[in-house]
Amino acid sequence: MNISLISPEVASSDSEPMIISASLKSPSVKVTERHHHSRGQLAGTLQGLISIEVESSQWVIPATHGIWIPPDTQHSLLGSHGPFHGWSIYIQKSECNNLPNKPCMLELSSLLREAITRTMTWNNSELQPEHKRLMAVIVDEISITPQVEIALPMPKDIRLLKIALALSDNPSDDRNINEWSVWAGISRRSLTRRFTNETGFNFTEWRQKLRMLKALELLVAGRPITEISLNLGYDNISGFIAIFRRNFGVTPGNYQKAMRNNHPWRNFNDTIIQNDNYINNKLIK
């Protein structure tokens, strides 16, 4: 189903308020067409995972993180993995000067999560000075939030893209670089050079990064660790666990347990976000 959290006109408005907040909860998969707007956008999910394409990179966003999309940047929601419960805040372009000028993944602090949650309670009240102060805190917090390298850049060369898409559909495909070069009709030397130039990773690094992002999807879906390891092409579970811990700082089991028992958005008030679209209407009159 194609969705849009707020209208294009509102998303491109640079009038007050500084921040517009919106959220959507739905049991079905959601997508959006490629678009852009003049407001900067910080987007994330309250539950599960979403995949977003920003310019030429794909990003898988767990509930612990958010993706910053600078003003006027092309992007689209590729889909949600399971039930969708996402949120976004849209920041005036004039307030984005000190924010990152390139798309990036941010590891959200508890302060930033609580501040975003608070904006969702303003639907039935007038905009007060304390609201403006909290908006300023949100902008400041985004500017100092650590960036995390979770993006998966996609190659532009049609032959390399063919390989990347095949691996995205089947991450366990363990063909070596020689076999892939024959399959795609490109020399090994060109494949190696172009893959690094176009994605910033060599072929082996890119495939491992893809598998780690797929692992996040499957962990959030509650799949067993052994099953995930096999589905991603690892010969033994210990190797998978070691690589996952090296990338994310925790074991797959601990990550899955933390997402289940200690959800980062546990204080989010579900009485505010109903089953359909919620927008902070007071702030966008």
What percent of the chain stands above pLDDT 90? 39
The rounded distance, in Å, linking the Cα atoms of 225 and 245 is 13
pLDDT tens per residue across span 112-143: 988 998 888 776 457 788 888 999 999 999 99
What lies within 8 Å, CB to CB, of 201 at 6+ separation is 153, 195, 209
Using DSSP, state whether 257 is helix, strand or coil.
helix
What CATH fold (topology level) applies to the domain 8-144+266-284? Jelly Rolls (2.60.120)
Assigned architecture for domain 155-261: Orthogonal Bundle (1.10)
The rounded distance, in Å, linking the Cα atoms of 202 and 189 is 12
> Can you tell me the mean pLDDT for 247-251?
84
Average pLDDT score, the chain: 82
Grade residue 82 by pLDDT with cuts at 50, 70 and 90. low
The residue ranking higher by pLDDT, 147 or 182, is 182
Grade residue 268 by pLDDT with cuts at 50, 70 and 90. low
The structural domains of the chain, with segments of one domain joined by +, span 8-144+266-284, 155-261
pLDDT tens per residue across span 19-28: 998 887 776 6
Buried-state track 35-71, b at ≥16 Cβ within 10 A, e below 16:
ebbbbbbbbbbbbbbbbbbbeebbbbbbbbbbbbbbb
> C-alpha dihedral over 249, 253, 258, 263, to 10 degrees?
110
Comparing 15-24, 53-62, 276-285, the range with the smallest average pLDDT is: 276-285
pLDDT at 16: 81
pLDDT tens per residue across span 187-234: 999 999 999 999 889 999 999 988 998 898 788 778 999 999 999 999
pLDDT at 245 over 80: yes
Grade residue 282 by pLDDT with cuts at 50, 70 and 90. very low
The rounded distance, in Å, linking the Cα atoms of 149 and 11 is 27
pLDDT at 70 over 90: yes
pLDDT at 281: 39
Grade residue 39 by pLDDT with cuts at 50, 70 and 90. very high
Do 155-261 and 8-144+266-284 fall under one CATH topology? Answer: no
pLDDT at 233: 92
pLDDT at 123: 62
